[in-house]
Structure 1
Amino acid sequence: MRAAVYYGPNKLEIDDVAEPEVRPGTVKLQVGFNGICGTDLHEYYAGPIFVPTSPHPLTGAELPLTMGHEFSGTITAVGEGVTGWTEGDRVAVEPIYKCDQCGPCRAGNYNVCQQIGFHGLMSDGGMAESTVVPTSMLHRLPDNVSLELGALVEPMSVAYHAATLGDVTQGNTAMVFGAGPIGIGLWFALRGKGLEDVFVVEPSPTRRAAIEALGAQTLDPTATDVPAFIAEHTSGAGADAVFDAAGVAPAVSTALACVGSRRPMVSVAIYEKPLETPLLNLVMNESRIQGSLCYTGADFEAVIALMADGRYDTTGWVTRIPLDDVVDEGFEALHAGTKMKVLVDPNGAN
């Protein structure tokens, strides 16, 4: 079968690889769509970072491997001992491998497992015609949720998990910094939680226009004094939660200047450079920085339910491409900023 195989920096090739074989406790999927993630971009341009160069303790996999951890698919075969799943079931995949032994796992927080692995980063993944996954990763898609939306469940769950950590309720004011895919996902998640007063802060006119078309209120930090605006808007109380999905110093400093007393800035970004954090502001405001990593099965189920309710829209920010175009129209286009979210169609029939 054909797959996008990662060999190292700037080397991703469409290769013919062996068809994966179903094993006990697993199912084989015909991949519907596979999203290209920011983590994939980091691996392609600066890796290997998370892709193991020696056997991973949970999967045994190492470089080279097939990329892809954001994907949906249709079951084509079931392994020995599998119950509750049959050929033809459509699923989204929660791609976490966990040890079940470390402190976080024992506490139920397997998304921060100390040996965490991801299907498509620490094993052969979904940027291929087929892949095999354990049934623990499967989430059933309702009939009215497309395979396209199904491939977005994983990144939208990253955002939903962060939104939950913001501890917001109806009537609160929230702010999202960055209108990339995770920022868009945060806006969808916050709206799904009943918030009407959500502002998205984004300097790029293209990204502002994309999320405005979905119905978002935006602020241009190059033209607006964002902390002053929020102070006036909230009668001096500040935002009830701010979310950093931008990962750059100006966004963090502005976010911390907007957050209300004893309220969180939730960080769901990857920071390529060290940041200087204004700790005095945190102390004087009794506010806090909350990290957010990945998701749990509950986040997947919540996102799928919202999708089934028609709360997610791919118009204007999601592009489909065939597997053959994964480098030029996928990785290179995302790196250049000419596309926002790319879904790879490995089978060419969706």
Structure 2
Amino acid sequence: MKALRYYGKGDVRMETDVPDPELGPGKVLVKPAFTGLCGSDLHLYFHGPIPPTSPVSETEPHALTGETLPIVLGHEFSGTVVEVGEGVTGLKPGDPVAIDPVSGCGECPACKAGRYNACGKMACLGISGGGGGLSELISVPAEKVHPIGDIPLDQAAMFDPLCVGYHGVTKSGIKAGDVALVGGGGPVGLLTAAVLKGVGATVILTELAANRREFAVNAKIADRVVDPANEDLQAIVAEMTGGQGVDFAYECVGAAPVVEPLLNALKIGGHMEILGVHTAPVPMDLVTVLFKELTIAGSVGYANAFPGAIKMVQEGKIDLSPFITARVKADNFVTDGLEYLEDHKDDQIKMVVQM
């Protein structure tokens, strides 16, 4: 079959002789349709493998999948069921589906607690091995295949990043009527804001890039959008909350300068959820945390989030259509996808690749 395979930094090849995947009991054969381009894809191409998530060479296998480079790319993807294996129920050929690409070992304390996203051997389709969405076919465990009904397949390719926001929002415990502050208007921050609006929260979003602020306004996923370089975030929060501060804050960019403004904006007893991936330790004002009795928690990726996120979209609480800002053919994945996105990060919300 035809598939895009990753050999290492700067080396992605479209190949036509990749072996077809085997179906097997409990598996579902899926024909991928659309795959979202992600920051992880950019890192893999421009900087190299991301251990322990991806295999690091042709000789060093991933801890869970046992695969070495090359691997098939694409972890944010949708598709159509081609065939179901023995013992699979609730799915049939022709069903449009979205794929949860994340899995754990099933044996560690995290996995046994249902937090496979925190497994020390965590694997992700399209990054760790096991196939990926940038291929003509992929065989996936049935429990990772989620029917989407009449949701368009291009929009369904965004369920992976949407689930990151959905997991953080549901984990935080926010409810309708609460006020939330989202730090960062990248894809995860914007999708987190969309989930927050979907649960009935009042949303303030702070973002430096003008086009992302404009997107948030036009997509109606925030009640107030703030330019932190030219506006007083704390004054705006005070104005919108009667001086109390926000109930919840969501750090969605992984940038140290974002953390302190979010802490300062929280009310007494407020809560901050960390969704952004920080690559270095972040200095934190623990005096503020202490005297305001704040709680801070981490939210890594997601676990068991697809059914809830799909339901929100099906119920019309989230509209994914504005988030697609470009479509790319798989044959032009490097030039029109990776290289273009690297040079135009602030101009794009979500690019999708059609296989």
C-alpha distance in 2 between matches for 1:105 and 1:335 = 35
Q: Secondary structure at the match of 2:307?
A: helix
Q: Report the equivalent of 1:21.
A: 22
Once structures 1 and 2 are overlaid, which stretch shifts more, 313-322 or 184-193? Answer: 313-322
Q: 2:207 aligns with which of 197, 202, 205?
A: 202
Which AA in structure 1 matches 2:334? V
Which AA in structure 2 matches 1:334? L
Contact 1:166–1:242 (8 Å) recurs in 2 = no
Q: Report the equivalent of 1:33.
A: 34
The aligned length equals: 343
Which AA in structure 2 matches 1:9? K
Q: 2:54 aligns with which of 51, 72, 96?
A: 51
C-alpha distance in 1 between matches for 2:174 and 2:87 = 42
Shift, 1:318, TM fit: 3.0
Q: Report the equivalent of 2:272.
A: 265
Shift, 1:21, TM fit: 2.3
Which aligned segments of 4 or more residues in structure 1 are displaced greater than 3 angstroms? none
Unaligned runs of 5+ in 1: none
Which AA in structure 2 matches 1:3? A
Contact 1:139–1:300 (8 Å) recurs in 2 = yes
> Is 1:60 matched with 2:66?
yes
Shift, 1:316, TM fit: 5.7
C-alpha distance in 2 between matches for 1:58 and 1:249 = 32
Contact 2:84–2:92 (8 Å) recurs in 1 = yes
Q: Report the equivalent of 1:342.
A: 351
Query: C-alpha offsets along residues 288-316 of structure 1, whole Å, 9 cap, x if unaligned?
Result: 3211012222x211111121123213226
Which AA in structure 2 matches 1:5? R
Shift, 1:198, TM fit: 0.5
The share of aligned pairs that are identical, in percent, is 35
> Is 1:213 matched with 2:222?
no
Which AA in structure 2 matches 1:129? E
C-alpha distance in 1 between matches for 2:280 and 2:116 = 27
C-alpha distance in 1 between matches for 2:8 and 2:284 = 34
Which AA in structure 1 matches 2:351? V
Unaligned runs of 5+ in 2: none
C-alpha distance in 2 between matches for 1:88 and 1:333 = 33
TM-score of the superposed pair, with normalisation by structure 2: 0.92
Q: Report the equivalent of 2:232.
A: 225
Q: Report the equivalent of 2:320.
A: 313
Q: Secondary structure at the match of 2:288?
A: helix
C-alpha distance in 1 between matches for 2:110 and 2:34 = 31
C-alpha distance in 2 between matches for 1:167 and 1:83 = 33
Which AA in structure 1 matches 2:208? P
Which AA in structure 1 matches 2:348? K
Q: Secondary structure at the match of 2:268?
A: coil
Once structures 1 and 2 are overlaid, which stretch shifts more, 107-116 or 308-317? Answer: 308-317
Which AA in structure 2 matches 1:140? P
C-alpha distance in 1 between matches for 2:88 and 2:324 = 37
C-alpha distance in 2 between matches for 1:261 and 1:7 = 50
Contact 1:306–1:312 (8 Å) recurs in 2 = no
Which AA in structure 2 matches 1:8? G
RMSD of the TM alignment (CA)?
1.6
Counterparts of residues 266-305 of structure 1 (less than 5 Å): 266-297=273-304, 299-305=305-311
C-alpha distance in 2 between matches for 1:21 and 1:261 = 55
Q: Secondary structure at the match of 2:33?
A: strand
Contact 1:36–1:344 (8 Å) recurs in 2 = yes
Assess, with a 3 A threshold, how the Cα gap between structure 1 residues 335 and 288 changes in structure 2: closer, same or farther: farther
C-alpha distance in 1 between matches for 2:123 and 2:323 = 32
C-alpha distance in 2 between matches for 1:159 and 1:225 = 26
Q: 2:101 aligns with which of 81, 92, 95?
A: 95
Assess, with a 3 A threshold, how the Cα gap between structure 1 residues 293 and 73 changes in structure 2: closer, same or farther: same
Which AA in structure 2 matches 1:97? S
TM-score of the superposed pair, with normalisation by structure 1: 0.93
Which AA in structure 2 matches 1:37? C
Contact 1:260–1:285 (8 Å) recurs in 2 = yes
Q: Report the equivalent of 1:252.
A: 259
Query: C-alpha offsets along residues 184-242 of structure 1, whole Å, 9 cap, x if unaligned?
Result: 111111111111x2011011011111111101321110111102221232122211111
Contact 2:5–2:71 (8 Å) recurs in 1 = yes
Q: Report the equivalent of 2:139.
A: 132
